[in-house]
Amino acid sequence: MGLVLDNLSLYGEGLRTTVALTLLSFVAAFAIGVVIAAFRVSPVPPLRAVGTAYVETIRNTPLPVLLVLFFFGFPKIGIRYSTFASAVIVLSVYTGAFIAETVRSGINTVAAGQGEAARAIGLTFPQTLSLVVLPQALRSVVAPIGNLFIALTKNSSVAFLISTLELTGVAERLTTQSARPVAAFVGAGAAYLLLTIPAGLAFGALERRVAVKR
């Protein structure tokens, strides 16, 4: 316990980095997920193919592999980002694939008559999706998206692989300095709980607030 108390400022720095990674990645992943979900339900076959290829490729590739390939492979073709930016990009792309499938499942819960009615009054597919279907779909998938947010918070720990000083990176550094891995990672675990438990409660409250009455 002394190790944690003696290094609270370092844990605080790691906590701030983890929060920044999570929030920035989630916003970008949500945008990506909605676009890819729209591709997946599009009446245009090439768009559906692109959406399917994206989801299947990203979901079936381990996150650490994507991060290492991006950070160490892309500089060889002239694309270079900082460790933090690289982590945000990869986490966004990875989580976006899961959000896309979650949103698509929400779209499938909307009654077909809703889309037919929208088309009957002259709305285009993008208008039908954005004005009629998506608002209803998103209300039905608050809980699953909340689970993905919590998973993203924990997945941000892979950023330590490229020397980003987030919570797991802090624990790894303290382990190297003190040879006390249990204490170092207990501190990191407690910090993750400080993030994930309130997030779960917040999404639970949001789900109850926007729940569709059936």
Q: Which of 145, 143, 169, 157 is nearest to 22 (CA)?
A: 157
Domain enclosing residue 35, as ranges: 2-210
Q: Which residue has the higher pLDDT, 133 or 91?
A: 91
How high is the mean pLDDT of the chain?
90
Q: Report how far apart the first and last C-alpha atoms of the chain are (Å, whole number).
A: 50
Q: What is the CA radius of gyration of the chain?
A: 20
Location of structure tokens 């918070």: 153
> What CATH number does residue 117 fall under?
1.10.3720.10
pTM, entire model: 0.91
The total of structural domains in the chain comes to 1
- What CA–CA distance (Å, rounded) separates 54 from 28? 16
Q: Has residue 211 got a pLDDT over 80? A: no
* Residue 41 contacts residue 129 (beta carbons within 8 Å): yes
Q: Structure tokens of 160? A: 């330590």
Render pLDDT for 41-52 as a digit per residue (tens, 0 to 9): 988 999 999 999
pLDDT at 207 over 90: no
